[in-house]
Amino acid sequence: MSQPMTRGHVIMHTATFLQQNASVRDSPLEVESSLDLRTELESMTAAAFYPRHLHTELLALLATSRGTGGTGNDPGYTSILRCGAALLSPQNQFSVLLMKVLTPDLFIRKLPRFWQRDHGSSGRCQVEALDSAAHRAHVRLTGVAGYEHIGIFWLGWLGGVLRALTGSAPDVRQTGWSRDDSGPNEISYEVKWS
């Protein structure tokens, strides 16, 4: 069985976020990251797919680093949320256009396609229920065992896109991820937007 992959642009985004936000004193990317990750990052391209563990390592660094914008009782958690939301920033002109054409409803329906774009056939995203009239949906990620903190990263991204599309904060709750089990095989999202 081939190993799970993640697209370069997601990994590069997380690395850049970590580099730009972590305190200079910590510089986790230079000090704490593995040689494998540093070597891959040097020649990484946005389009290619890379082993998922590279992204997992970055998310773990983000969860434990200081100064990455984390707040409250669990700064690592909010750092990953912020990083996920920042993935929304336009990567190219097509992303800008896409945001102009998308509606919240269509965005939810296209979530499996977004997942497939960024992770290929590694893991799966399913929209199990979509009530367009009530602005509610139930989304499920499966096949993500060991992909630590992806649940929070995706939560941040999902919320960020919906906020940008509706102009107000959506209510997105996840079940599956916890501090004790940060890499479960399955994560569910209850999404409400106005």
Partner 1 sequence: MSSQVVREDSGLDLRERIVDALLTLTEVGFGDYTVELRMDFKTRHPLNGVFASLNEMIAAFGAEQEQSRAFRRELEDKLLIVEKQRAAIRELSTPIIELWEGVLCLPVVGIMDTARSTDMTNALLQAIVVKKTRYTIIDITGIEVMDTRTVDHFMRMAKSIRLLGAECALTGISPHIAQTVVHMGLDIDDIVTHRSLRDALADYVNRRT
Output 12 or 29, the one with its CB closest to partner 1. Answer: 12
43 binds partner 1 (CB under 8 A): no
Cα–Cα dist 33/20, whole Å: 15
Output 22 or 137, the one with its CB closest to partner 1. Answer: 137
| Of the candidate residues 31, 46, 145, 169, the single one contacting partner 1 (CB under 8 A) | 46
Cα–Cα dist 100/124, whole Å: 26
Cα–Cα dist 28/25, whole Å: 9
| Of the candidate residues 36, 38, 117, 131, the single one contacting partner 1 (CB under 8 A) | 117
User: Number of residues in contact with partner 1, rule: CB under 8 A?
Assistant: 23
- For residue 40, count CB atoms less than 10 angstroms from its CB and return exposed for 0-12, middle for 13-18, buried for 19 or more: middle
Q: How far is the CB of 102 from partner 1 (least distance, A)?
A: 6
Output 27 or 91, the one with its CB closest to partner 1. Answer: 91
Output 100 or 179, the one with its CB closest to partner 1. Answer: 100
| Residues 72-101 within binding reach of partner 1 (CB under 8 A) | 91-95, 97-98, 101
Q: How far is the CB of 91 from partner 1 (least distance, A)?
A: 6
Q: How far is the CB of 127 from partner 1 (least distance, A)?
A: 14
| Residues 1-40 within binding reach of partner 1 (CB under 8 A) | 7-9
Strands 186-192 and 49-51: unpaired
Footprint on this chain of partner 1 (rule: CB under 8 A): 7-9, 45-48, 91-95, 97-98, 101-103, 106, 109-110, 113-114, 117
